[in-house]
Structure 1
Amino acid sequence: MSHHHHDHSGGCHGEDHDHSNDITPAIQSLLYSQIDFGKIVTLNETTPKAGAAIVQKTWAERLNDEPELESDADEQLLMTIPGQANIHSLLLYTAPTISAPKTVKLFKNRDDLDFSTASELHPTQTIEVPQPVPGADVFELPLNRAHWNATTSVTLFFEDNWSDGEEDVTKVGYVGFKGQFMKLTREPVNFLYEAAANPQDHVSIPGVGGIGSVLPGQ
């Protein structure tokens, strides 16, 4: 697939618990302590900084209609998210329409990708996203943990959507991650908000396993 039509610049526009609401502080701790939202880069977004905005949503806001990331020139989106962690799964919410993403290719520790290189390179992992249905919550899409240790950035290449070529706009409502903080063995790199997060927050997040499983609602 040729990408000459991408003529936009993109740019920076407790472990033993079973309680479901434990997921909230743990997810927020991962997002807000480990991600520098100002350094998220999204290519082919219609609205500048919309990619960063959907990552910055709180867990309570995950199902909100706005903000929403929408592709511009065609159905593809490329988002690079810096953050230091051992990642276990991708959390994704999209409205139940044909504009929902279908194939997501993930690249580890690559902040130099454009659409051409993302199309040509072998991804760290490829995920087929289930088609969302009305009333569904966030999809938890498990990752191969062996491939996602010592992650310093994740690039998400939303390659197509559920329209089968009929709709050239892809929409994404929420992006998040499950995982564990990486123990720093050197000085923190510049995209960390804090040198040392609260140790009590350094826990894996309980959730539902399995590809396409839906996390419980509130």
Structure 2
Amino acid sequence: MPHDHQHGSPCGHEATHDDEDPYNRGIQYSLYTKIDMDNVVCLNEEIDGSGRHVFKPFENRNDVSTFVQSDGDEELLFNIPFTGNVKLKGIIIGGPCDDTHPKKMRLFKNRPNMTFDEVGSKADQEFELVHDPKCEVEYGPKIVLFSSVHHLSIHIPTNYGSDVTRLHYIGLRGEFTEAHQHGVTICTYESRPNVSDHKEDLLDHVNHTIQ
């Protein structure tokens, strides 16, 4: 659940938390298991496929050996498909205690395969980010806007002054519903019998009657 934070100098903020069992919070932040990871795409990542590595178990959130870094400028764009529908309730963005840490996050729902050509459109919600190397600060999306999400795009447009952006954890909290696939039954029928299709049956019937 969201936490109240008092922010001082970069990376030195004091956070006030409810007495919450870390195990329970880890369960809450298990939406990464519902991501279609094979189809996650991070645009402008320096190393291909590294963007997928920031979606990991809550207990590994402070493992800085796996991270994504932008290539050449500050921007990153994550396209995150889910295997069902998500009611998104919380996001954590963890990065280094330096100028590479993301400074802003823009969210877009249900816009698969977004590109940088499309990020100029109005985001569904935006957040100003604080330095959070310990992955403690939760940002709360408006549930009314993010109650049925099958695809989430996260745009990181800027950081705290570096030429590149780096982060090592994206945590997602919410409720998940399996996607239901309904089979389609195709029925073929004759609106008018085709006599030619039944000619042999008619002849057999006539022959049988004559005998």
- TM-score, structure 1 normalization: 0.69
Determine helix, strand or coil for the equivalent of 1:160: coil
What code does the residue aligned with 1:88 have?
Answer: K
- Asked whether the equivalents of residues 150 and 182 of structure 1 are also in contact (C-alpha less than 8 Å), the reply is no
Report whether the alignment pairs 1:143 with 2:109: no
Aligned ranges 1:149-168 → 2 under 5 Å = 149-163=147-161, 167-168=162-163
Determine helix, strand or coil for the equivalent of 2:29: helix
Determine helix, strand or coil for the equivalent of 2:144: helix
Report whether the alignment pairs 1:172 with 2:167: yes
Q: Say which one has the larger Rg.
A: 2
Correspondence for 1:187 among 181, 184, 195: 181
- Asked whether the equivalents of residues 42 and 51 of structure 1 are also in contact (C-alpha less than 8 Å), the reply is yes
Aligned mates of 2:23, 2:152 — CA distance in 1? 26
Determine helix, strand or coil for the equivalent of 1:130: coil
- TM-score, structure 2 normalization: 0.71
Report whether the alignment pairs 1:100 with 2:94: no
Aligned mates of 1:92, 1:62 — CA distance in 2? 10
Aligned mates of 2:96, 2:113 — CA distance in 1? 30
Q: Which runs of 5+ in 1 are unaligned?
A: 1-17, 189-218
Aligned mates of 1:98, 1:81 — CA distance in 2? 25
- Residue 90 (structure 1) aligns with: 91
Aligned ranges 1:1-218 → 2 under 5 Å = 19-28=21-30, 30-32=31-33, 34-55=34-55, 57-83=56-82, 84-118=85-119, 120-132=120-132, 136-163=134-161, 167-182=162-177, 184=179, 186-187=180-181
Determine helix, strand or coil for the equivalent of 1:148: coil
How many angstroms does 1:183 deviate by? 5.8
1:128-171 CA-to-partner distances (Å, cap 9, x unmatched) read 10133x6x4332111111100110011011000011xxx21000
How many angstroms does 1:172 deviate by? 0.8
Aligned mates of 1:144, 1:26 — CA distance in 2? 17
Q: Which runs of 5+ in 2 are unaligned?
A: 1-19, 183-211
Aligned mates of 1:61, 1:138 — CA distance in 2? 13
Number of residue-to-residue matches in the alignment:
162
How many angstroms does 1:182 deviate by? 2.7
- Asked whether the equivalents of residues 89 and 178 of structure 1 are also in contact (C-alpha less than 8 Å), the reply is yes
What code does the residue aligned with 1:38 have?
Answer: D
How many angstroms does 1:73 deviate by? 2.2
What code does the residue aligned with 1:94 have?
Answer: G
Aligned mates of 2:98, 2:69 — CA distance in 1? 13
Aligned mates of 2:122, 2:154 — CA distance in 1? 13
Percent of pairs identical after alignment? 24
